[in-house]
Amino acid sequence: MSTTVSRPRAGTLARRAGIAVIVVYCLVPFYWMVVSSLRRPADQFSNAPLPAPVSFDNYTAAFDPANGFGRALLNSLVVAGTTTALTLLVGIFAGYALARLDFRGKTLILTLVIATSMFPPITLVVPLLRLFTDAGWINTYQAMIVPSMSFALPLAVWNLTAFFRQMPAELEKAAQVDGCTPAQAFRKVVLPLAAPAVFTTAILVFICAWNEFLIAVSVVNDRQMMTANVIVTLFTGQYRYDQPFGTQMAAGVVVTLPLVVAVLFFQRRIVDGLTAGGLK
């Protein structure tokens, strides 16, 4: 009896230990970034586990008007927010059509949508740069939004298609029997029930667009239009050859913290949205 009881306990302890290792592995880099951002500039190469004394000089330096970090945060918000809104608008209708409508080539279309996400972004930089140069889009928001949408749409379409497929078609039929048009049934019945999946997709797309770097650094060379991820790489120290590690760490914390807070605050909704499509 004792052996039977001890085995589940040992398995539980092993699982908890494994989870603890994964959590520590994921959080240590962020912890070190926070600690480094709170050191004095003179202590930036210290390896102490805690800053002593705590200093906010790096945050003050990061938001120095000469760095343009505040404007870059606004640019990131505009690009990520617009990308999320447009991606959801297209992804909801595309996912619903692929899940509900019967037409030839539907499986092929969904396969091609997913296949587009397999191309490394670096292979698209030169064609996009040439295209945007000819169109006069260099140093514009749309030059960053359109490529970000192309990277985020496969995720949105796949996630929403899987969710809509699991929703009973009888819900729309019942709404139409009660007098709703197909559009009204979609707006009044389907969309409210799809809110968890839509919300989850929105969070994932926003994170993807917020963290995008390669396209933003390639199609923008005007500091007034750069996003936060790009402007951090251009921070300079007091002298020409200084490497402002502390200032960059402080900027990294500012850029990362909203995403961490959002994921922690909405984690239950995110999990519900990711698992809802797999349940009937």
Q: Are 56 and 246 in contact (CB under 8 A)?
A: no
List the chain pLDDT tens, one digit each, 280 residues: 445 556 667 778 888 899 899 989 988 988 999 999 999 888 888 888 888 889 999 999 899 888 899 999 999 999 999 999 999 999 999 999 888 888 888 888 888 888 888 888 888 898 999 999 999 999 999 999 999 998 999 989 988 998 888 888 888 888 888 888 888 888 888 888 888 889 889 988 999 999 999 999 999 999 999 999 999 988 876 545 567 888 899 999 999 888 888 777 777 777 766 665 544 4
Backbone angles phi, psi at 8, to 5 degrees: -60, -40
Q: Are 76 and 144 in contact (CB under 8 A)?
A: no
> What is the C-alpha separation between 118 and 96, in angstroms, rounded?
23
The amino acid sitting at 127 is P
**pLDDT score of 75:** 96
- At residue 1, the pLDDT reads 46
Packing angle between helix 122-135 and helix 142-166, nearest 10 degrees? Answer: 120
Q: Say what the pLDDT of residue 257 is.
A: 85
Between CA 252 and CA 202 the distance in angstroms is 22
Cα angle vertex 124, ends 203, 249, to 5°? 50
Q: Distance between CA 56 and CA 75 in Å, rounded?
A: 24
| pLDDT recorded at residue 277 | 52
- Rounded Cα distance between 181 and 158, Å, is 26
216 close to 122: Cβ distance less than 8 angstroms? no
